[in-house]
Chains A and B, each alone.
Chain A
Amino acid sequence: QKEVEQNSGPLSVPEGAIASLNCTYSDRVSQSFFWYRQYSGKSPELIMSIYSNGDKEDGRFTAQLNKASQYVSLLIRDSQPSDSATYLCAVEGGRGSTLGRLYFGRGTQLTVWP
C-alpha cells in the first residue's frame, strides 16, 4: 500500500504571508507528483504537477520536489483569502499495476485570514 502523508493542519496564515504545505510519500519508485486544491463542496482541481527534483513555479505557487527525501511541498506566496481550501497531495504509482494510478493524501486545510 502506497502511503502519502500530509501535515494534518489545519493551517492558518494571514493575508500576504507564505503558506507552506508538505507531503511525504512511501514508495521511492514514484516519479510524478501533483497538488490539487479543493474548495468546500467542490471537486479537486489540479493546480501543480512536478516531475523533476527542484522547484517549479507557476504564479504565486511553487512546488518543490526532493526524491531522495521522498518529499514534495507547495508554497503559496502572497496568500489570499481566496486560497482558503483543502490542498491534496497526489503521487503517481510508478510501476506495474500501479502505473498511472494516483494515491492521495488526506489533505491539509488552509485558511487565509484578512
Chain B
Amino acid sequence: DAGITQSPRHKVTETGTPVTLRCHQTENHRYMYWYRQDPGHGLRLIHYSYGVKDTDKGEVSDGYSVSRSKTEDFLLTLESATSSQTSVYFCAIGNRDLYEQYFGPGTRLTVT
C-alpha cells in the first residue's frame, strides 16, 4: 500500500459520537486525500491536503473536518457521527507531478 497505513481498520460507533480516523504515510508526499466509498456512488473525495496546515474541501465534505500538522499524518474527524456516514474510508497520497494517487488499506466505519 505504498507506505500508507490507516487506523483503526474497523470501528463501530454510536450516532452522535465524535470519531477520528488517522492516515499515516512514510513516502513524504505533499498531497494527501480522504475518500469514502459507498455502493452505487463509487469513490468520492471528502477533503484533501496540499501541505502541512493546508487543506481544502472535496465534493462530500459536510460533517467532516481534517487536520494536518505533520507531513506524514492526515486526520479525518466526524464531529458527530450519523448513520449516513457508515462507509469505507480510504486515504490516498498523491504524486503531484504525475497526478497518480496511491491508496491506503481503508477503514470500515459503522455508525449505529
Enumerate chain A interface residues (CB-CB to B < 8 A). Answer: 1, 32, 34, 36, 42-46, 49, 88, 90, 92, 97, 100-102, 104-107
Q: Are B45 and A101 in contact (CB under 8 A)?
A: yes
Within the complex, which residue of B1, B96, B99 is in contact with A43, where a contact is CB–CB below 8 Å?
A: B1
Task: Kindly identify which residue among A1, A32, A100 contacts B31, using a CB–CB cutoff of 8 Å.
Answer: A100
Known: A101-B45, A101-B48. A45 touches B96 (CB 8 A): no
Chain A, Cβ-Cβ closest to B106? A43
**Out of B40, B96, B102, B103, which one reaches A100, CB within 8 Å?**
B96
* Contact call B99/A104, Cβ cutoff below 8 A: no
A32: B residues at CB distance < 8 A = 98-99
Mark B residues whose CB is within 8 Å of A: 1, 31, 40-45, 48, 50, 56, 58-59, 90, 94, 96, 98-106
A88 to B98, CA, bound (A): 18
Residues of B contacting A102 in the complex (Cβ-Cβ under 8 angstroms)? 45, 99, 101
Which B residues lie within 8 Å of A43 (CB)? 1, 90, 103-106
Tell me whether B41 and A92 are in contact (CB under 8 A).
no
Give the residue name and chain of the A residue nearest to B42 (CB): A106
B42 touches A49 (CB 8 A): no
CB contact under 8 A between A106 and B40, given known A32-B98, A32-B99: yes
Residues on A with C-beta less than 8 A from B42 are: 88, 104-107
* Chain A residues near B100 (CB-CB < 8 A): 34, 46, 49
A32 CA / B97 CA spacing, docked (Å):
11
